[in-house]
Amino acid sequence: MRISAACMLALFFATTSFAQPAKPVVYVLSTGGTIAGSGSSTTDLSNYKPGAILGEQLVKAVPQISVIADVRVEQIVNVISSDITIDNLLTLAKRIHAIAKETPDVAGFVVTSGTNTLEETAYFLNLTVRTDKPVVLVGSMRPSTAISADGPLNLLNAVRTAISSDARGKGVLIVLNDEINAARDASKTNTLRVETFRSPELGLLGYVDEDQVSFYRSPTKRHTLNSEFDVTLLTQLPRVTILYSYIEPDATLIQAAIKSGAKGIVFAGTGNGALSIAEETVLKEVIAMPANTRPVLVRSSRTGNGRVTATTEYEAFGMIPGDTLNPQKARILLMLGLSRTSDPKELQRMFAEY
């Protein structure tokens, strides 16, 4: 009996198994925010409920993700990012550590977040996550129910970045609006526009386009695997306060911060971290306090761009210049630094290296 070529081909495919290549494993850790927000109408872009949707729903709403990755979703918390806590950040860092240890073949991590404090979450993880696997922060400026919601594509691009071999070792990344920024450099710069995350003069790291994930530079400051900060056993961090400078500031807030238990104060100074005579007058009283009772003082700037450099005037107060870190990121670094030491020279070293 003759068997036709077509039958032989059909028999071959029926009896031969073809192993499909395993898709890279990505963990999506969800924390809420606008990307998980829901409004009463498709044009409701401001009055919506953040964190109304769970991470599982976010991923399922973008079926293209399952084509490129084996995604495993965990809900860490579900809040507007303005309400996220240091305890939540510690939980995030510890969970990423645990997953990296339990699942060594994990390709990367995506953290969905509200955008209001996303930059602080990203920088905290940049300093505390001890892995070279990509950790990507993603959010959106429009809720999931809005016309032209930006969350779905942002999430897909975040997963694409997390599985990119070129993203490995570059520290924690922020991916929105098809752009990749470094956690240390980027900040939210606009209240409503989708292109809100910018790294002022230092610039973005790359793009996520339809054809590929492209990087053009790498961060140079210490981060992730090369960081000295270990939060494994920490349950809280020292309290650090930010005080904003302006014309005729209320300098009594400095003493109020100390009385409330602040171990460090970051000044959002004018220009190159400058303070007023009123603030300096109170600081003279502060530096007269016993060394073990006075807070560590850091100068940052309210300008949003540029370095804060050391000056003779402020070195006399023992103040640490914050370099290019904005006040909220300087606070994150100071809290982590104070969890290790209160030595001003060591803390100054950290601000120079991170």
Q: Is 34 in the active site?
A: yes
Closest C-alpha to 158, from 129, 142, 179: 179
Given a contact cutoff of 8 angstroms between Cβ atoms, the answer to whether 69 and 159 are in contact is yes
Q: Annotated catalytic residue: which of 16, 31, 34, 189? A: 34
Residues annotated as catalytic (active site), given as ranges:
34
